[in-house]
């Protein structure tokens, strides 16, 4: 299962909506767990430039930019939970290209499909098996009392 804070979930959808006919992409930060019954939590997103040659149907994060994003996530005391990208015209599941290019074993690959209402789905990459496994997506409601403390901490963070 992957759990998003409301803010992180909205960030993925909002970023996808700004992409128009092109795919957008980014990295998910939070706490990461491995294993069949793993539960990871996304508390922040880090948008990335889509460096693909054909961004209307592909996404690619430049390796240098990815390195910088991962360093910032780790410097903030978080882990890479996975990655997200959009499918402006569907499908709502990983494409053959997504399967062929997945490399981070046990990480979540989130897709925001925009072929109607936004749909956010997630799949764990099972690298040993060469396949994606669907996982439940949940969104944690905002908690006003903890939100104030989170906002104060975030002012000092870059992630």
Peptide bond into 91 cis (omega under 30): yes
**Distance (Å) of CA 20 to CA 1, 14, 47, 60:** 29, 11, 15, 17
The CA-based angle 88-92-96, given to 5 degrees, is: 90
Strands (E), 96-154: 108-113, 119-126, 131-135, 137-140
Q: Please provide residue 136's backbone torsions phi and psi, each rounded to the nearest 5 degrees.
A: -70, 135
Q: Please provide residue 15's backbone torsions phi and psi, each rounded to the nearest 5 degrees.
A: -65, -45
Select which of 3, 22, 23, 71 is catalytic.
23
Q: Does residue 23 have an active-site annotation?
A: yes
Q: Which residues are catalytic?
A: 23
């Amino acid at each position: 299962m992957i759990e998003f804070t409301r803010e992180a979930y909205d960030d993925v959808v909002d970023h996808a909506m700004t992409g128009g006919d092109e795919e957008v992409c980014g990295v998910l930060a939070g706490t990461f767990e491995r294993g069949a019954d793993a539960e990871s939590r996304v508390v922040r997103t880090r948008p990335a430039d889509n460096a693909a040659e054909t961004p209307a149907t592909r996404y690619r994060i430049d390796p240098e930019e990815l390195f910088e994003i991962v360093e910032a996530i780790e410097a903030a005391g978080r882990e890479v939970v996975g990655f997200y990208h959009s499918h402006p015209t569907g499908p709502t599941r990983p494409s053959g290209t997504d399967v062929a290019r997945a490399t981070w074993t046990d990480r979540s690959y989130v897709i925001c499909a925009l072929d109607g209402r936004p749909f956010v789905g997630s799949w764990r990459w099972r690298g040993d098996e060469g396949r994606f496994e669907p996982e439940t997506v949940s969104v944690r409601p905002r908690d006003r009392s903890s939100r104030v403390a989170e906002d104060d901490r975030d002012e000092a963070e870059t992630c």
